[in-house]
Amino acid sequence: MTSSTGSPTSTGGAAAWRDQPPFRADHVGSLLRPKELLRARAEHAEGRLDDDALRAAEDTAVDHAVALQQEVGLQTASDGEYRRTSWHMDFIYQLGGVAPTDEKLQVHFHNPQGDLDFESAALAVHERVRLGHTIFGDAFTYLRDRVRDSAPGLTPKLTIPSPNMVHYRGGRAAIDQRVYPDLEEFWADLTAAYAEQVRRVADLGCTYLQLDDTSLAYLNDPAQRELVAAQGGDPEHQHEQYIRNINAAIADRPAGLRVTTHLCRGNFRSSWAAEGGYDFVAERLFSDLAVDGFFLEFDDERSGTFEPLRFVPPGKQVVLGLVTTKRPQLEDKDTIKRRIDEASRYVPLDQLCLSPQCGFSSTVEGNELTEEDEVAKLRLVAEVAREVWG
């Protein structure tokens, strides 16, 4: 339903405010690290702050993040990923059988001003993959309790990298062939470890889990498929294996656990690594991936059109990432509403939600905008969602 100006308006009933994740107004997860937390991290790295003091600084920052998300009108609360340096490697290095190596991994990022490189330690799968402790379990427990005590109307959300991120950048070369002569055994162990992680976080009271996955979005970019081919992979069908991996990891999730995935093309200091619409993976992705919702970035032309959404089946939510986290400029409300209306030509308005297109700080460095900009964008998402859906 649209208004006389062509913008979608609340239809009430089926398209009204959602009471389960993903919510009409949602966000990907990471938030800009407060200056006080960055200072504490630096002092800890220099040996001038002990582990307990750093943990106290992180707790204070998370408390602030929960209050912020409640104040701007969101229904979900993440911990801002404040206890991490990287959205994915902090998790992956805690899997049994996976370790960093001396080799440096470089990812080339792009922005309107030029290019820059992100460098981190590469990883090696040197033993059979397994789950030891519950990764991020303590972090989620703190968030859960903080939400319960100070913001009971919010739903605590845990974000973790998808299993595919263990494989994508290193490919077969990062997996010891003496340990896994058959790659199918690697996939089986990896997804079993993830399935156990999913079960354990559900036992901790998690009802909203997000699997962050850049690989399925990267594979839409022909240049990225060329890299996969150079690694000896199968660029035409790798996305199908990746979809099966996620499905295996979440197949036995309890009924009360909602699972979403966030698919983006890279996010480092307001830059990106891949380009192109979701067309290449869309049919298999939307038809086969057994998640409850898809966080998709649509903040500019490099993200393509809404046309791939025609493959989204009934019962799945699409969270439109129409508010960019890469630039400080605040989007126009009417423009966002017109874009929601455009997306609703391919998938019903009742299956749509709104969010920023990515996290604000996928790595500790954060994107090139201020905390005030971040707050304004989150508030804008909540306001537009209320005006569109009720």
The string of pLDDT tens digits covering residues 306-351 is 999 999 999 999 999 999 998 899 999 999 999 999 999 999 999 9
Domains of the chain and CATH, by start: 13-389 (3.20.20.210)
Report the pLDDT value the prediction gives residue 104, as an integer from 0 to 100: 64
Tell me the mean pLDDT in the region 135-161: 98
How much is the mean pLDDT over the chain? 91
Report the pLDDT value the prediction gives residue 273, as an integer from 0 to 100: 56
Report the pLDDT value the prediction gives residue 132, as an integer from 0 to 100: 98
Report the pLDDT value the prediction gives residue 315, as an integer from 0 to 100: 95
364 has a pLDDT exceeding 90: no
182 has a pLDDT exceeding 90: yes
What are the beta bridge partners of residue 293? 260, 317
Q: What percent of the chain has pLDDT over 90?
A: 76
pLDDT tens per residue, range 46-103: 999 999 999 999 999 999 999 999 999 999 999 999 999 988 899 999 999 999 987 7
CA distances, 102 to each of 13, 88, 124, 281 (Å): 56, 18, 10, 34
pTM metric for this prediction: 0.92
12 has a pLDDT exceeding 80: no
Report the pLDDT value the prediction gives residue 167, as an integer from 0 to 100: 94
The residue among 261 and 326 whose pLDDT is bigger is 261
For residue 120, name the pLDDT band (cuts at 50, 70, 90). low
274 has a pLDDT exceeding 70: no
Tell me the mean pLDDT in the region 223-231: 89
379 has a pLDDT exceeding 70: yes
26 has a pLDDT exceeding 60: yes
